Amino acid sequence: MLSKPTSLPRLAEFDIRIDDLPLLDSEEFQVIRITVDDTVDMPSMFSIEFANLGGLEVGKSLEASIEIIDNSQFNVGRTVEIRLGYLGQLTPVIRGEITSLEAEFTCDRPMNLLVRGYDHRHRLQRGRKTQTFTQVKDSDIARRITVAAGLGHTESGRDTIEDTEVVHEYVMQVNQTDMEFLQERAALIHYEVIVKDKVLFFRPIGNANRVRSSLTFQEDLVEFYPRLSAKEQVSSVTVRSWNPQMKEMVAYTARSSDAVSKMGGDQTGAEVSTSAFGNTVEVISDRRVETQSEAKQIAIAQFNDAILGFITSEGVCRGRPDLLANTVVHIDGLGDRFSGEYYVVSASHRYEQIGYYTHFTVRRNAS
């Protein structure tokens, strides 16, 4: 359901559950800051800051005053779910695992505990590997790595790893973490690597998906700094390679007709650039490409990646827990050129006792 902005003042609330159990009232009272950094190209991170707001009271022992710091429920490896929102309407923004603890012991300020963690993509960063894959699709590789990492690849009975179709004769992971390797494979074909809870998604970048949320300037949207640039836009992308076994050239040229979506705009960045400066062709010939289908897949992917950088922006809005990375947001009130659909690259949710705001970065491929 599309979330609509509202200009009414609202009281921000949060709910933190550790291993699916809520915090005690005394623990919740000590939460002074929550940050969730949700991103597309690395594990999303959370931090929860607790403060001993009572300080060292007269007659109270040191051990009692730092009870929150020694609380076993904050042990490394515990599962944390953070929900943010307003007036009892809370939305999950992250579910991950505790990976580190930081404490502050000072004589003139309350003792603090900072609990940090990541979504389950962090498991793909543990250790570097060198291994080979033969006669596989990138989706096959993603599935093997997912299973080895102890993650799932089904949701509601559906496979969350989308078929990439092209079979590769030989692929090698060279001294890379699984995260680095999967991101490299994903970037080549305009895919993304996402983990929700313990389920991994390997799928096309979702800028063609339906709009999930909306923001309107001077209502929810407080700041927005768009930049439209045709500098790196090209009319087409050609992938070209020589197949020594078949003794033939394989090539494909991707053009504006291969754009997965115009995100509600009239012209893609490639079309704007071509109209203003004429045809510009980018040729990729530094990769070994075995088949025509592989050349087509890479060319279309790289073309769509390039045009998605046509408009980039950073923004700030009143806290919106529905504004998450890998989703599409519709932004209004910015005139014809900059109003429209944007793909959310990152969203940083920052809750403090004085309020809740979301800082975000977005990209768009057309105007």
Q: At what angle do helices 269-277 and 292-307 cross, to 10 degrees?
A: 80
At position 125, the amino acid (one-letter code) is: Q
Percent of the chain exceeding pLDDT 90 equals 79
Residue 308 to residue 207: CA distance in whole angstroms:
8
Asked if residue 242 has pLDDT above 90, the reply is no
The fold of the 12-120 domain, in CATH, is Phage tail proteins - horseshoe like beta roll fold (2.30.300)
Contacts of 192 (CB under 8 A, 6+ apart): 40, 186, 201, 202, 203, 204, 205, 206, 326
- pLDDT category at 116 given cuts 50, 70, 90 is very high
Tell me the per-residue pLDDT of 284-334, one tens digit each, with 9 for 90 and over.
998 889 899 999 999 999 999 999 999 999 999 999 999 999 999 999 999
Q: Check residue 162 and give its pLDDT.
A: 96
Tell me the per-residue pLDDT of 208-218, one tens digit each, with 9 for 90 and over.
999 999 999 99
Asked if residue 54 has pLDDT above 70, the reply is no
Taking the alpha carbons at both ends of the chain, their separation in whole angstroms is: 25
Q: Check residue 177 and give its pLDDT.
A: 97
Distances, alpha carbon 141 to alpha carbons 104, 135, 145, 287, 298, in Å:
43, 10, 6, 19, 17
Residue of 63, 54, 46, 49 lying closest to 26 (CA atoms): 54
Asked if residue 61 has pLDDT above 60, the reply is no
Q: Check residue 65 and give its pLDDT.
A: 53
Asked if residue 63 has pLDDT above 60, the reply is no
Asked if residue 1 has pLDDT above 60, the reply is no
Contacts of 188 (CB under 8 A, 6+ apart): 298, 301, 302
At position 23, the amino acid (one-letter code) is: L
Q: Check residue 353 and give its pLDDT.
A: 81
Residue 198 to residue 110: CA distance in whole angstroms:
36
Q: Check residue 64 and give its pLDDT.
A: 47
Q: Is the pTM of this model over 0.75?
A: yes
Residue predicted with more confidence, 3 or 167: 167
Tell me the per-residue pLDDT of 6-33, one tens digit each, with 9 for 90 and over.
444 578 999 999 999 999 888 898 899 9
Contacts of 74 (CB under 8 A, 6+ apart): 18, 98, 101, 113, 115
Class of domain 126-204: alpha beta
Q: Check residue 5 and give its pLDDT.
A: 47
- pLDDT category at 104 given cuts 50, 70, 90 is confident
Beta strand 12-18 with 79-86 is: antiparallel
Asked if residue 133 has pLDDT above 90, the reply is yes
In this chain, the answer to whether the domains covering 12-120 and 126-204 adopt an identical fold is no
Domain residue ranges of the chain, discontinuous segments joined by +: 12-120, 126-204, 230-307
